[in-house]
Amino acid sequence: MSAYTGTRRSEDVIGAVGERSSLRWARRKIEEVKAGLRDDPGRAYSVEFTSAAEGALVRNGVVEVARPLSQLTSAGDGAGLASRIDRLQAEQKDLLQTLAVIGRESPLAVIMKVFPQPDGELDQMLSALQAGEFIYEQLAPTGVEYTFKHALTQEVAYNSLLIERRKLLHGRAGAAVEALYDGRLDDHLSELARHYQRSANVEKALEYLGRAGQQAIQRSSHAEAIALLSSALELLQALPETSECLERELALQLGLGSALRVAKGWSASEVGQAFARARELCRQIGETPHLFHGLAGLWGFYCVNGELETALDLAKQLLSIAQSWERCRPPTECTPRHGTNAMVAGSVHTISVE
């Protein structure tokens, strides 16, 4: 007599159960589990029956009930998955949690750095997790990687970690990515930002959140840029207000303002707040070329919102800055004076019409 464990899928078990009257309830229950998963896109649709009814049905030529069917649970159920994860050997559970931190897809090269093991042992543990239907192996352009079979498995494994352990593993994962892809970090900025943001390394988090945010702006992924730069600004609030922090915040606020004006439009209050904060930071820092960018952003905000007197005043300040730059630079160098003249002229004309 053998239990339905391991690789038997729910469809297989339904076929084996058939229409036998003593097992019709089991068939209905399995169908309910599958239907519930279809209705919930956050759960896996392809459910392994082992985790739905592990050991509840056995076969000895025919399918028989081995334990109360009331104990049937869904593979997409967090409690059921947590129970399965807890029953793993300690080293296998640690590895599964480490994979959950690395991401939905975990390159073998990264795993080996974050979870170093003696020769052969890591392969055995990865094979055991594959046999348990937690992950599967696949080839990627960068080599072998391991992917969670269901997103919920990763979520449950990740949430089972203590916060300090999570931070430690995210820090290790970030360091591993830096070491493995040195020279090609621009291809991994979002990944590095995610890991270091969830680690205890605030400096690295600020660096990569800022770089990833600027990269997102260049790629016109403005919603992503807003999320990244806002996260960096939140982290920055926890640090002492040094001149270096002011410079960092200024760059973040200017980037955030640029992303917001595209995503939400010049009239959005958040745009005015970002550029107003940038102007205030410029005053605290002292003379900085970034003042022009901040004032230009505010000019656009006030212009679009119909506050033309304020817009004219800002345009005059911009013209003054442009003229001072022109005096300090060779005649062959480009300056923003002509564009600023047009801003002033446009503001004056609009006020006159009003």
What CATH architecture is 78-161? Orthogonal Bundle (1.10)
Q: How far apart are CA 68 and CA 298, in angstroms?
A: 68
Q: How far apart are CA 76 and CA 71, in angstroms?
A: 15
Q: How far apart are CA 193 and CA 200, in angstroms?
A: 12
| pLDDT for 68 | 55
56, two tokens: 């509840």
Dmax over Cα atoms in the chain, in whole Å? 95
Amino acid (1-letter code) at residue 20? R
Question: Which three-class secondary structure state does DSSP give residue 132?
Answer: coil
Span 195-249, pLDDT tens digits: 999 999 999 999 999 999 999 999 999 999 999 999 999 999 989 889 999 999 9
| pLDDT for 272 | 97
How many other C-beta atoms lie within 10 A of the C-beta of residue 142? 13
| pLDDT for 46 | 37
Q: How far apart are CA 353 and CA 221, in angstroms?
A: 38
Report DSSP state, residue 20: -
| pLDDT for 21 | 52
254, two tokens: 């200017």
Residues of the chain with pLDDT under 50: 1-8, 37-54, 69-70, 73-76, 331-335, 337-338, 341, 345, 348-349, 351-353
